[in-house]
Amino acid sequence: MDVSRRDFLRFSVGAAGGTALSGLAGSGVNLGPVVAQAQELRIKNAKVTPSVCPYCSVGCGTLIHTIDGKIVNIEGDPRSPHNEGTLCPKGAAIFQLHVNPNRPTQVLHRAAGAAEWEVWDLERAMNRIAELVKKTRDETFIEKLPNGKLVNMTPAIFSLGGAIHEIEFNQVHQKLMRGLGIVAIENQARI
């Protein structure tokens, strides 16, 4: 293994620093106040907004720290009975969900057979989705089964939801899907 002089110095300083900190901690020096002060400086003057992790149906509480409207930190909410301030690896990466430069911020559409994506405005995309839902429902709607039983359903549309939305949105979503006659509904919120 080739180790340059620079790498050797870097490893030596890191090992010496780790040894010094562990020696302090081992000798009974309480590093808690120093850690607390460092944490406080990181989010000083930040507005704290409670929120919920978007990834699964557990609904872990989070605290979002913003400065001038920009997210600077997201961490678990210690007041949450679900997670008591801890987050799983996905939840701990929520910050990247908001600041990742690769995150799509526009509606992209790729027509059938096309090789390139086209940027659409949101209204155009929503209108197209509504057209396709109505067309599919009209073409596949089943009012009665062959035995005469009234079912008012469409088997051609499936709804897949997530736990990122609050319960009120999920309730409205369920009413819309059932009102359209959609029976294949799956949601982590399990309404």
Return the domain boundaries, the chain: 44-103, 104-135, 141-191
Residue 57 Cα distances to 53, 94, 104, 140, 187, angstroms = 9, 15, 24, 32, 9
Query: Which residues lie closer than 8 Å to 22 by C-beta, 6 or more apart?
Result: none
Share in percent of the chain as helix, strand, coil (round to 5): 40, 25, 35
Fold of 44-103: Phosphorylase Kinase; domain 1 (3.30.200)
pLDDT for res 191: 46
pLDDT for res 190: 56
pLDDT for res 93: 87
pTM as predicted: 0.58
Q: Spell out the per-residue pLDDT of the chain, length 191, in tens.
A: 677 877 777 777 777 777 766 766 666 666 666 666 656 666 778 899 999 887 777 788 999 999 888 888 888 999 999 889 999 888 888 888 888 888 888 999 999 999 999 999 999 999 999 999 999 999 999 999 999 999 999 999 998 876 666 777 888 888 999 999 999 988 776 54
How far does CA 179 lie from the centroid of its chain?
Answer: 28
pLDDT for res 189: 61
